[in-house]
Protein backbone atom coordinates (compact mmCIF):
# COMPACT_ATOMS: atom_id res chain seq x y z
CA UNK A 1 0.00 0.00 0.00
CA UNK A 2 1.36 3.43 -0.86
CA UNK A 3 1.74 5.92 1.92
CA UNK A 4 -1.20 8.26 2.51
CA UNK A 5 -0.11 11.89 2.26
CA UNK A 6 -3.31 13.76 1.34
CA UNK A 7 -4.63 15.76 4.31
CA UNK A 8 -8.29 15.04 3.59
CA UNK A 9 -7.70 11.26 3.57
CA UNK A 10 -6.00 11.03 6.99
CA UNK A 11 -7.69 9.89 10.17
CA UNK A 12 -6.58 11.78 13.33
CA UNK A 13 -4.00 9.18 14.42
CA UNK A 14 -2.39 9.21 10.96
CA UNK A 15 -2.40 13.01 11.08
CA UNK A 16 -0.73 13.05 14.53
CA UNK A 17 1.96 10.61 13.40
CA UNK A 18 2.74 12.41 10.15
CA UNK A 19 2.77 15.84 11.84
CA UNK A 20 5.13 14.62 14.58
CA UNK A 21 7.48 13.06 12.02
CA UNK A 22 7.62 16.17 9.77
CA UNK A 23 5.45 19.26 10.42
CA UNK A 24 5.41 20.30 6.75
CA UNK A 25 2.22 21.46 5.00
CA UNK A 26 2.13 21.56 1.20
CA UNK A 27 -0.40 23.86 -0.46
CA UNK A 28 -0.99 23.55 -4.23
CA UNK A 29 -1.88 27.03 -5.51
CA UNK A 30 -4.37 26.10 -8.19
CA UNK A 31 -6.80 27.80 -10.51
CA UNK A 32 -9.62 26.66 -12.75
CA UNK A 33 -8.20 28.43 -15.75
CA UNK A 34 -7.79 28.10 -19.52
CA UNK A 35 -4.48 26.39 -20.28
CA UNK A 36 -4.79 25.92 -24.05
CA UNK A 37 -7.11 23.48 -25.83
CA UNK A 38 -4.88 20.57 -24.81
CA UNK A 39 -4.55 20.87 -21.01
CA UNK A 40 -7.11 20.49 -18.22
CA UNK A 41 -8.49 23.60 -16.53
CA UNK A 42 -6.92 22.55 -13.22
CA UNK A 43 -3.39 22.47 -14.67
CA UNK A 44 -2.00 25.04 -12.22
CA UNK A 45 -2.93 22.95 -9.19
CA UNK A 46 -2.22 19.50 -10.64
CA UNK A 47 1.49 20.18 -11.16
CA UNK A 48 2.28 21.08 -7.52
CA UNK A 49 -0.14 18.39 -6.32
CA UNK A 50 1.97 15.77 -8.09
CA UNK A 51 5.30 17.23 -6.93
CA UNK A 52 4.07 17.65 -3.35
CA UNK A 53 2.80 14.06 -3.15
CA UNK A 54 6.27 12.85 -4.22
CA UNK A 55 7.97 15.18 -1.72
CA UNK A 56 5.68 14.13 1.14
CA UNK A 57 6.45 10.47 0.40
CA UNK A 58 10.19 11.21 0.41
CA UNK A 59 10.65 13.86 3.13
CA UNK A 60 7.37 13.64 5.05
CA UNK A 61 4.57 16.14 5.54
CA UNK A 62 0.94 16.47 4.50
CA UNK A 63 -0.59 17.76 1.24
CA UNK A 64 -3.51 20.17 1.51
CA UNK A 65 -6.33 20.22 -1.06
CA UNK A 66 -5.78 22.46 -4.08
CA UNK A 67 -6.87 26.07 -3.85
CA UNK A 68 -8.88 26.95 -6.94
CA UNK A 69 -9.16 30.72 -6.56
CA UNK A 70 -6.34 33.17 -7.08
CA UNK A 71 -5.54 36.75 -8.01
CA UNK A 72 -4.70 37.81 -11.56
CA UNK A 73 -4.36 40.89 -13.71
CA UNK A 74 -7.71 42.14 -14.92
CA UNK A 75 -8.99 44.69 -17.43
CA UNK A 76 -12.56 45.82 -17.87
CA UNK A 77 -13.68 46.21 -21.46
CA UNK A 78 -17.20 46.89 -22.69
CA UNK A 79 -18.70 45.84 -19.38
CA UNK A 80 -16.88 42.50 -19.15
CA UNK A 81 -13.89 41.44 -17.09
CA UNK A 82 -10.90 39.92 -18.88
CA UNK A 83 -8.20 38.07 -16.94
CA UNK A 84 -4.60 37.06 -17.60
CA UNK A 85 -4.25 35.70 -21.12
CA UNK A 86 -7.72 36.99 -22.17
CA UNK A 87 -6.58 40.49 -23.06
CA UNK A 88 -3.79 42.03 -25.11
CA UNK A 89 -2.71 44.42 -22.36
CA UNK A 90 -2.12 41.47 -20.04
CA UNK A 91 -0.23 39.23 -22.44
CA UNK A 92 3.54 39.12 -23.01
CA UNK A 93 4.77 41.05 -26.07
CA UNK A 94 4.43 39.15 -29.32
CA UNK A 95 1.42 37.05 -28.33
CA UNK A 96 -1.46 38.52 -30.29
CA UNK A 97 -5.05 37.45 -30.95
CA UNK A 98 -8.40 39.19 -30.47
CA UNK A 99 -9.34 39.88 -26.85
CA UNK A 100 -11.73 37.20 -25.65
CA UNK A 101 -12.95 35.39 -22.56
CA UNK A 102 -11.04 32.11 -22.84
CA UNK A 103 -13.32 29.14 -22.07
CA UNK A 104 -13.57 27.63 -18.61
CA UNK A 105 -11.77 30.17 -16.44
CA UNK A 106 -13.50 30.55 -13.06
CA UNK A 107 -10.94 31.45 -10.45
CA UNK A 108 -10.17 35.13 -10.22
CA UNK A 109 -10.63 37.00 -6.95
CA UNK A 110 -9.34 40.47 -6.03
CA UNK A 111 -5.88 40.86 -4.52
CA UNK A 112 -7.54 42.08 -1.35
CA UNK A 113 -9.86 39.10 -0.96
CA UNK A 114 -7.08 36.66 -1.81
CA UNK A 115 -4.88 38.27 0.85
CA UNK A 116 -7.58 37.84 3.49
CA UNK A 117 -8.27 34.25 2.46
CA UNK A 118 -4.58 33.38 2.38
CA UNK A 119 -3.97 34.76 5.87
CA UNK A 120 -6.95 32.82 7.19
CA UNK A 121 -5.61 29.57 5.66
CA UNK A 122 -2.14 30.16 7.12
CA UNK A 123 -3.64 30.81 10.54
CA UNK A 124 -5.39 27.42 10.35
CA UNK A 125 -2.24 25.64 9.15
CA UNK A 126 -0.23 27.08 12.06
CA UNK A 127 -3.01 26.27 14.54
CA UNK A 128 -3.07 22.65 13.39
CA UNK A 129 0.61 22.42 14.34
CA UNK A 130 2.59 22.83 11.12
CA UNK A 131 5.94 24.67 11.26
CA UNK A 132 6.90 24.64 7.57
CA UNK A 133 4.75 25.60 4.57
CA UNK A 134 5.54 24.88 0.93
CA UNK A 135 3.20 26.51 -1.60
CA UNK A 136 3.52 26.71 -5.35
CA UNK A 137 1.39 26.96 -8.50
CA UNK A 138 -0.48 29.78 -10.25
CA UNK A 139 2.00 32.62 -10.84
CA UNK A 140 0.17 35.56 -9.19
CA UNK A 141 -0.76 33.44 -6.13
CA UNK A 142 2.84 32.29 -5.78
CA UNK A 143 4.20 35.80 -6.14
CA UNK A 144 1.87 37.02 -3.40
CA UNK A 145 2.85 34.14 -1.10
CA UNK A 146 6.58 34.56 -1.68
CA UNK A 147 6.53 38.34 -1.20
CA UNK A 148 5.51 37.98 2.46
CA UNK A 149 7.73 35.28 3.96
CA UNK A 150 8.77 37.61 6.81
CA UNK A 151 5.12 38.29 7.62
CA UNK A 152 4.21 34.57 7.63
CA UNK A 153 7.10 33.88 10.00
CA UNK A 154 6.26 36.78 12.30
CA UNK A 155 2.48 36.24 12.45
CA UNK A 156 2.20 32.45 12.16
CA UNK A 157 5.68 31.09 12.99
CA UNK A 158 5.83 29.36 9.60
CA UNK A 159 9.05 28.82 7.64
CA UNK A 160 7.91 29.19 4.02
CA UNK A 161 9.23 27.90 0.71
CA UNK A 162 8.24 27.97 -2.97
CA UNK A 163 9.72 25.94 -5.82
CA UNK A 164 10.80 28.68 -8.21
CA UNK A 165 14.45 28.89 -9.21
CA UNK A 166 15.52 32.30 -10.37
CA UNK A 167 18.90 33.05 -11.84
CA UNK A 168 20.35 36.28 -13.26
CA UNK A 169 19.23 35.05 -16.69
CA UNK A 170 15.69 34.29 -15.51
CA UNK A 171 14.13 30.86 -15.19
CA UNK A 172 16.28 27.80 -15.66
CA UNK A 173 15.27 25.08 -18.14
CA UNK A 174 14.22 22.84 -15.24
CA UNK A 175 12.33 25.53 -13.26
CA UNK A 176 8.93 24.39 -12.03
CA UNK A 177 5.84 25.91 -13.65
CA UNK A 178 7.02 28.72 -15.87
CA UNK A 179 5.09 30.34 -18.71
CA UNK A 180 1.44 29.58 -19.35
CA UNK A 181 0.55 26.25 -20.97
CA UNK A 182 3.74 26.37 -23.05
CA UNK A 183 6.56 23.80 -23.19
CA UNK A 184 7.27 23.81 -19.44
CA UNK A 185 3.76 23.26 -18.07
CA UNK A 186 2.69 20.98 -20.93
CA UNK A 187 5.76 18.74 -20.46
CA UNK A 188 5.16 18.49 -16.71
CA UNK A 189 1.52 17.54 -17.26
CA UNK A 190 2.48 14.95 -19.92
CA UNK A 191 4.78 13.29 -17.39
CA UNK A 192 2.54 13.56 -14.30
CA UNK A 193 -0.97 13.18 -15.73
CA UNK A 194 -0.67 11.73 -19.27
CA UNK A 195 -4.35 10.73 -19.31
CA UNK A 196 -5.40 14.38 -18.84
CA UNK A 197 -3.41 15.83 -21.78
CA UNK A 198 -4.84 15.85 -25.32
CA UNK A 199 -2.09 17.04 -27.67
CA UNK A 200 -4.27 16.18 -30.69
CA UNK A 201 -6.50 19.15 -29.75
CA UNK A 202 -3.73 21.48 -30.95
CA UNK A 203 -3.55 22.42 -34.62
CA UNK A 204 -1.11 20.52 -36.83
CA UNK A 205 -0.59 23.73 -38.84
CA UNK A 206 2.90 24.98 -37.83
CA UNK A 207 1.95 28.65 -38.20
CA UNK A 208 -1.07 28.40 -35.89
CA UNK A 209 0.45 29.18 -32.50
CA UNK A 210 -1.70 27.61 -29.75
CA UNK A 211 -4.27 30.14 -28.49
CA UNK A 212 -3.91 31.59 -25.00
CA UNK A 213 -0.51 30.06 -24.26
CA UNK A 214 2.92 31.60 -23.62
CA UNK A 215 5.83 32.03 -24.23
CA UNK A 216 6.82 29.01 -26.37
CA UNK A 217 5.00 26.46 -28.53
CA UNK A 218 3.34 23.70 -26.45
CA UNK A 219 3.68 21.31 -29.41
CA UNK A 220 7.42 21.11 -28.60
CA UNK A 221 6.66 19.62 -25.16
CA UNK A 222 7.72 16.07 -24.27
CA UNK A 223 7.02 13.80 -21.29
CA UNK A 224 10.79 13.21 -20.96
CA UNK A 225 11.37 16.92 -20.39
CA UNK A 226 8.52 16.98 -17.89
CA UNK A 227 9.97 14.04 -15.97
CA UNK A 228 13.38 15.76 -15.89
CA UNK A 229 11.73 18.86 -14.38
CA UNK A 230 9.90 16.80 -11.76
CA UNK A 231 12.97 14.72 -10.82
CA UNK A 232 15.12 17.83 -10.54
CA UNK A 233 12.58 19.54 -8.26
CA UNK A 234 12.17 16.48 -6.05
CA UNK A 235 15.94 16.38 -5.47
CA UNK A 236 16.27 20.12 -5.01
CA UNK A 237 13.26 20.61 -2.71
CA UNK A 238 13.94 17.53 -0.61
CA UNK A 239 17.42 18.88 0.20
CA UNK A 240 15.92 22.26 1.13
CA UNK A 241 13.22 20.70 3.32
CA UNK A 242 15.52 18.22 5.04
CA UNK A 243 17.65 21.19 6.07
CA UNK A 244 14.61 23.15 7.23
CA UNK A 245 13.39 20.21 9.33
CA UNK A 246 16.82 19.83 10.98
CA UNK A 247 16.82 23.54 11.83
CA UNK A 248 13.52 23.18 13.74
CA UNK A 249 14.95 20.99 16.49
Alpha-carbon distance values, 23 to 16, 61, 77, 145 (Å): 10, 6, 46, 19
Size of the site for Zn ion (CB under 5 A): 1
Site residues (CB under 5 A) for Zn ion, limited to 43-62:
44
Least distance CB 138 / Zn ion (angstroms): 6
Least distance CB 179 / Zn ion (angstroms): 8
DSSP string, 74-105: EEEETTEEEEGGGSGGGSPTT--------TT-
Q: Measured between alpha carbons, how far is 24 from 140 in angstroms, rounded to an integer?
A: 23
Asked if 29 and 67 count as a contact pair (C-beta separation under 8 A), the reply is yes
Q: Which is nearer to Zn ion, 36 or 60 (CB)?
A: 36
Least distance CB 189 / Zn ion (angstroms): 10
Q: Which residues of 58-80 are buried (b: 16+ CB within 10 A; e: fewer)?
A: ebbbbbbebbbbbbbeeeeeeee
Site residues (CB under 5 A) for Zn ion, limited to 17-46:
44
Least distance CB 136 / Zn ion (angstroms): 11
| Residue 72 contacts Zn ion per CB under 5 A | no
Least distance CB 71 / Zn ion (angstroms): 14
Q: How many helices and strands in the chain, by DSSP H and E? A: 7, 8
Site residues (CB under 5 A) for Zn ion, limited to 132-191:
none
Q: Which is nearer to Zn ion, 44 or 86 (CB)?
A: 44
Q: Which is nearer to Zn ion, 60 or 140 (CB)?
A: 140
Q: Which is nearer to Zn ion, 23 or 70 (CB)?
A: 70
Give the binding site for Zn ion (CB under 5 A). Answer: 44
Amino acid sequence: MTEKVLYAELIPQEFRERLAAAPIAYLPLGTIEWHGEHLPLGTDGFQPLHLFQKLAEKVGGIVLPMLFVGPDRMVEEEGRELYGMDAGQLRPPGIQYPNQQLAGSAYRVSDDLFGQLFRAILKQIARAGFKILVAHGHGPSGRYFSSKFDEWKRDFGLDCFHCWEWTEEGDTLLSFQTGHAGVNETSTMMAAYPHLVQMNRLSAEPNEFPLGTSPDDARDATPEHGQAIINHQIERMSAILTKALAALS
